[in-house]
Amino acid sequence: MRRFMLALGVWVVVAGCGHAETVFQFPEDQEEADFIANEVIATFYHELGHGLIDVLEIPVLGKEEDAADTLSVILMNDIWEEASAAAILTSDAKAYALHAGDTSAAPDLSAYADVHSLDIQRYYSVVCLFYGANPEARKQLAVDLELPDYKLDSCPYEYESARGAWDAVLQGTEPTADTYGLVMADGQEGMPLADLLAEEVASMNEHFGLPQEITVKVADCGEANAFYSPSEKTITLCNEYAQDLQQLWESQ
Minimum distance from CB of 81 to Zn ion (Å)? 26
| Smaller CB separation from Zn ion, 26 or 96 | 96
Minimum distance from CB of 52 to Zn ion (Å)? 12
Minimum distance from CB of 12 to Zn ion (Å)? 34
Minimum distance from CB of 17 to Zn ion (Å)? 31
| Smaller CB separation from Zn ion, 51 or 132 | 51
| Smaller CB separation from Zn ion, 26 or 69 | 69
Q: How far apart are CA 63 and CA 225, in angstroms?
A: 19
| Smaller CB separation from Zn ion, 68 or 245 | 68
3-state SS string over the chain? CECCCCCCCCCCCCCCCCCCCCCCCCCCCHHHHHHHHHHHHHHHHHHHHHHHHHHCCCCCCCCHHHHHHHHHHHHHHHHECHHHHHHHHHHHHHHHHHHHCCCCCCCCHHHHHCCCCCHHHHHHHHHHHHHHHCHHHHHHHHHHCCCCHHHHCCHHHHHHHHHHHHHHHHCCCCCCCCCECEEECCCCCCCHHHHHHHHHHHHHHCCCCECCCEEEEEECCCCCCEEEECCCCEEEEEHHHHHHHHHHHHCC
The dihedrals phi and psi of 53, each to the nearest 5 degrees, come to -60, -40
Interface with Zn ion (CB under 5 A): 65, 68
| Smaller CB separation from Zn ion, 80 or 228 | 228
Minimum distance from CB of 69 to Zn ion (Å)? 8
| Smaller CB separation from Zn ion, 32 or 65 | 65
Minimum distance from CB of 65 to Zn ion (Å)? 5
